[in-house]
Structure 1
Amino acid sequence: MHEIITLQLGQRSNYIATHFWNVQESYFTYGENEEPLVDHDVHFRPGLGADGTETFTPRTIIYDLKGGFGTLRKYNALYEAEDPSGHPEGQWQGNEVVQKQPPIPLNEYQKSLEAGLPTPSLTSSSVRYWSDFNRVYYHPRSIVQLNEYELNSSLMPFEDWTVGEDLFRDIDKEHDLLDRDIRPFAEECDHLRAFQLFTGSDDAWGGFGSRYVDALRDEYGKTGIWVWGVEDGTRLPRHKKMSKMINTSRTINSIAPLATLYCPIVDVPQHLPKYLNIDLQSDWYKSALVVSAIETATLPSRLRTHRDFETSLLGHRGGSQTIFELQSSIISPDVGEKRPPWATKKYITQKSDDEAKLDFDINFTIPQPMADNTAVFTQVQVFRGEEQQAVEIEPPGGDDVVLKRKLRLYASKPAVERFSSTLRFPLPDSYPRNMFVGSDEKVGVDITSGLSTTSRIADKLKDLQTIASRGVGVDERENLTNGLGELRELYEKDWISESDSGDD
């Protein structure tokens, strides 16, 4: 097995990750003769419940502030016998007065799940916390509440990057976070493949996540680290926008050099196609759209017939370009021309290696449309959809892959990898019913998604570099702007022109 351990840092990340786990749960098949396309062992771990029954829970660690877990209990129905009193026994033999906050009442959706009854449709108003639409059980070790800060506190807001950095260091000094939280999951793995992090990047979670990635890289030097850095896409006052951009610049500067993949995600993108019906005030809706792209882009990493997904991210520069754009398009059944040609049977007899950039409808990283002069360095394309159209592309031999990449490099062409599957994106009942106009929840949705390193990343880094040069203190300014400048150079177009001149 090639397991992946997930870390979820903060409220926005937990909304996205909850949709992610609900989608993974929907892939489970229960017939004796049904062979699932998805290898569940990648993200789920076997175990035993309090009564000795077998369990299968997500291999994840969920961090949130006090009050951020909503109705989710640390000890659920699978493990509640382990914590009968709700608090540890002490040595004091006198009278005790235990003060507890009243529990948050379950919404009707969660009540129906617990009772095994048909679930009512969720709405923006009925989803108060990410736990309100959660469908899976977690191991108690997965639940980590950080009591030092409270959700949405005006007295001690968890907003500044250095606040999160300091919190990680304080907790790590006291408990050794990797030893307490990571090691129990890592020791269960046969072959730990990667860590996947969902984290805010423009608030204090960016500082917390940056120090976490530092620790992971020190301890697990050769293990992949995939980071989805969530940025606030709503309109904000200028001073607050500036503060968030400075936080983002610190996060990218800290994480990108250490990660295998760092993907900035603007939640929600500025430009959305008309076939989407989204409540922009609802984190439940916005995170559902984000996860449709993330889950599709990473689908090859958990398919039983997968190729080496990590190798696809390396590109021509051996993995030095780690900052990727995330893009996607939802394909309606009656819009056949939207299908990428490489995902159709006709592709087999055609040469389409030059198709490095597609006209994606949604870009979660950079709002502007891709210009004609944009240089695409690396692109991983994933199509999932209609059975009579999709073609399962068999992986070529290892030597063929290496040769193909060398030929593309010498020809100044981008490194492109394509994956195709008949497995549609599912729409569990925890998903917004009407988000994809015209979709059928019983069938799922056809989606094409991409991860791309392009010259537009250099433009994004330049903007962050400019903001950092104006907004941070003198002690930090030089290191931060120089670090962003070094990252920016990796995404300039020069390497293509140099390659061209070498062929003359």
Structure 2
Amino acid sequence: MAAVCREVICLQLGQYANSVGTHWWNLQESQRCHHLDSELCSDVQFRAGVTLSGVETYTPRLIVLDIKGSVRSLQVEGDVDEEEATPAWNGKVTTHREEPADSGGGATIQGGAPEGGGGRGMGLAGGGAIQSNRQESYQPITRDGVWSDYLHTQLHPKSLCILNNGGGTGGLESFSQGQSLLKSSASLEELEERLHFFSEECDYLQGFHLLCDTHNGFSGAGAKMAELLHDEYPGRGILGFGTSPVPPEQRDLHTSMYQLMNCVMSLVALSSHSSIFCPLTLNSSLGRRPGPPVVFPHLVYDASWQYHSSAVLAVALDTLTAPYRLTSSTLSMSHLADTLSFSGRKVLTASCSLPFPIGSASLLPDALLPHLSSPPWRCVSACVDDAPVFCQSVVLRGIPRPRQISSLLPGRRPPSSLHVCGSGEEVLQCFTSAICPQTLSISHLLGAPCRLGPTFPQFFSHYITKDGWTAEEPLPEPTAVGGVPVMAALRSSSSLRLSLRALCDEVSKMDVRRWANFSTAGIEEAELEEAINDLRSLAECYRLDESGDSDDSD
């Protein structure tokens, strides 16, 4: 009997969240195009439709909120070529048209690693190209580009919602301003209508993905959206992901102060109304001084370029959410969230190994053996990696079944307990138990890699082969990487105690009265103080029973 498809609706709020989301949908589209969806059920996040003329469509269950200027590559007009049968919308609609296929061959996506780096660059060192799997024409990705420039997936007319806010995130800089956007009855009615359109056609709606920027005013809009979902869809899972880009080296005090306050307010609000909440950022700190960006051993990426940084986070997101999108999985979004948020620990950290280091002829036990003392992943939630964890969900993808267990000859002594496991799932479970003893670990092993697709940046080092394997020596010539093995973990980490407390201490030293816009739309000093106290209480949920991290340790 086939497993029941448990649908998920995704909401994306803000330019950076939409950059991450765009790469994420592109990755899922690539999985389908390469017929690698036998493990991951694409129907969980995509919906089938038929136009009035009988043309079949397959689009994401997605609602996008952004401001004017971020969707310049998508046409927004009052009529569409064709609507789906039995349309339920009488107002203005949005058209998304793809350029016709290039019959002369594949087009290129350019824009790779920073100059002088050891990466290949999207156009390759000598001006080479990656051909689009769908033979479409793409414009080069530039630094002033926006997420719609590299969107590879067709959207439903009801997906796109553009806010009239004056042209930039500078006009939507505070949490309170974002909240105000969704306080009007007209805005709420439109959002609720779109939500009902996608939810009412679901047979079994298991929950929502909520991606929102936490560094600008969309943090307030995201908090309001989480509250709406919590009230309107009780019992459904809400997985919140707060996205924040690596800031430019030169930032004024005004901007950094607003980003700090937005982060605190959104952490409290989103963790309160979501099943779980996970920051996604390549910064090493959530505070005003973000520190150096995360370094991956075999990525040569430009962390300050949102096209690059959002691609890294999208791979992590696609891998982390795999457990309840599996074709054969009985694990639901709510079950996963309940397991990981035990004892009120609703804020989680994400970690990712991109690509997971394994040679073209290596076996999984041999690849994991060097990492028993230190996992291969890097934290992408502005926390440290080596702190004890309370529970975790680990996903490893891209290891073919014949290479998942050891092939030791009879009579040979196994190098580790990993080498005596009878299945790949046992190997991964043994590994997670070894690195985190006495910790509840949920693990999933997928054979198919993360298929990257034509719009993904080629920022890999010269040690990565076209199939994503890690070579012992640099490759003689650069090659386009089509797919990679990935390891990612969603963790309830004790490191959050120090991170959240440091955030509280930093914002407590501020005089909110100096920042007029923050209180203009309703956030008063007392409300910020309450959020700080709530965040301190949340931080204490991550105290270890026999903790060595005393009050003086931060």
Query: Which category of TM-score, normalised to the shorter sequence, fits these structures?
Result: 0.7 to 0.9
The 3 A distance-change label for structure 1 pair 340 and 474 is farther
Contact 1:314 1:321 (8 Å CA) reproduced: no
User: How far 1:468 sits from its partner (Å)?
Assistant: 3.0
Q: Which moved more, 1:275-284 or 1:114-123?
A: 114-123
Q: Which moved more, 1:231-240 or 1:451-460?
A: 231-240
The 3 A distance-change label for structure 1 pair 167 and 317 is closer
Match of 2:8 among 4, 29, 38: 4
2:308 maps to which residue? 285
| Distance in 1, Cα, partners of 2:106 & 2:399 | 29
Residues 270-419 of structure 1: matches in 2 within 5 Å?
Answer: 270-310=293-333, 311-315=335-339, 318=342, 320-329=344-353, 330-334=355-359, 359-370=375-386, 374-387=387-400, 388-390=402-404, 391=423, 393=425, 413-419=438-444
2:224 maps to which residue? 211
1:405 maps to which residue? none
Question: What amino acid sits opposite 2:81 in the alignment?
Answer: E
User: Aligned to 2:490, what secondary structure does the other structure show?
Assistant: strand
The 3 A distance-change label for structure 1 pair 180 and 309 is closer
Contact 1:439 1:445 (8 Å CA) reproduced: no
Question: What amino acid sits opposite 1:365 in the alignment?
Answer: S
Question: What amino acid sits opposite 1:56 in the alignment?
Answer: Y
Cα RMSD (Å)? 3.5
| Distance in 1, Cα, partners of 2:267 & 2:37 | 40
2:121 maps to which residue? none
For the pair 1:426 / 2:451, whether they are aligned, the reply is: yes
For the pair 1:226 / 2:228, whether they are aligned, the reply is: no
The 3 A distance-change label for structure 1 pair 76 and 23 is farther
2:161 maps to which residue? 144
The 3 A distance-change label for structure 1 pair 474 and 25 is closer
Instruction: Count matched residues.
Output: 443
Question: What amino acid sits opposite 1:141 in the alignment?
Answer: K
2:418 maps to which residue? none
Percent identity of paired positions between Structure 1 and Structure 2? 24
Match of 1:247 among 250, 262, 281: 262
Task: Give the structure with the higher percent helix.
Answer: 1
The 3 A distance-change label for structure 1 pair 339 and 247 is farther
User: How far 1:415 sits from its partner (Å)?
Assistant: 1.5
Match of 2:531 among 473, 480, 493: 480
The 3 A distance-change label for structure 1 pair 43 and 74 is farther
| Distance in 1, Cα, partners of 2:253 & 2:210 | 29
User: How far 1:435 sits from its partner (Å)?
Assistant: 3.3
Contact 1:468 1:477 (8 Å CA) reproduced: no
User: How far 1:212 sits from its partner (Å)?
Assistant: 0.7
Contact 2:384 2:495 (8 Å CA) reproduced: no
Match of 1:256 among 263, 271, 288: 271
User: How far 1:175 sits from its partner (Å)?
Assistant: 4.6
1:164 maps to which residue? 178
Contact 2:212 2:243 (8 Å CA) reproduced: yes
User: Aligned to 2:158, what secondary structure does the other structure show?
Assistant: helix
| Distance in 2, Cα, partners of 1:161 & 1:246 | 8
Q: Which moved more, 1:310-319 or 1:44-53?
A: 310-319
The 3 A distance-change label for structure 1 pair 116 and 292 is farther
Contact 2:31 2:37 (8 Å CA) reproduced: no
Contact 2:239 2:275 (8 Å CA) reproduced: yes
For the pair 1:451 / 2:486, whether they are aligned, the reply is: no
Question: What amino acid sits opposite 1:228 in the alignment?
Answer: F
User: How far 1:321 sits from its partner (Å)?
Assistant: 1.4
User: How far 1:161 sits from its partner (Å)?
Assistant: 0.9
User: Aligned to 2:381, what secondary structure does the other structure show?
Assistant: coil
Unaligned runs of 5+ in 2: 85-89, 113-139, 285-292, 405-422, 467-479, 513-523, 549-554
> CA offsets, 1:151-200, max 9 Å, x none?
355xxx21111110111112x45552442221110001001111001110
Contact 1:198 1:228 (8 Å CA) reproduced: yes
For the pair 1:18 / 2:19, whether they are aligned, the reply is: no
User: How far 1:369 sits from its partner (Å)?
Assistant: 4.6
| Distance in 2, Cα, partners of 1:293 & 1:448 | 8
1:122 maps to which residue? 110
Contact 1:10 1:63 (8 Å CA) reproduced: yes
Match of 2:63 among 61, 64, 73: 61
| Distance in 2, Cα, partners of 1:116 & 1:304 | 37
Residues 48-87 of structure 1: matches in 2 within 5 Å?
Answer: 48-74=50-76, 79-81=80-82
1:95 maps to which residue? none
The 3 A distance-change label for structure 1 pair 481 and 26 is same
Contact 2:16 2:245 (8 Å CA) reproduced: no
Contact 2:396 2:488 (8 Å CA) reproduced: yes
User: How far 1:4 sits from its partner (Å)?
Assistant: 0.4
| Distance in 1, Cα, partners of 2:91 & 2:272 | 46
For the pair 1:188 / 2:201, whether they are aligned, the reply is: yes
Question: What amino acid sits opposite 1:122 in the alignment?
Answer: Q
| Distance in 1, Cα, partners of 2:17 & 2:159 | 15
User: Aligned to 2:43, what secondary structure does the other structure show?
Assistant: helix
Question: What amino acid sits opposite 1:273 in the alignment?
Answer: F
2:476 maps to which residue? none
User: How far 1:49 sits from its partner (Å)?
Assistant: 2.3
> CA offsets, 1:32-73, max 9 Å, x none?
xx9722211100011122522111111101111011112112
User: How far 1:460 sits from its partner (Å)?
Assistant: 1.4
2:287 maps to which residue? none
Question: What amino acid sits opposite 1:359 in the alignment?
Answer: P
The 3 A distance-change label for structure 1 pair 53 and 340 is same
User: How far 1:138 sits from its partner (Å)?
Assistant: 0.7
User: How far 1:475 sits from its partner (Å)?
Assistant: 2.0
User: Aligned to 1:27, what secondary structure does the other structure show?
Assistant: helix
Contact 1:19 1:287 (8 Å CA) reproduced: yes
| Distance in 2, Cα, partners of 1:366 & 1:309 | 27
Unaligned runs of 5+ in 1: 91-102, 347-351, 395-400, 402-407, 498-504
User: Aligned to 1:468, what secondary structure does the other structure show?
Assistant: helix
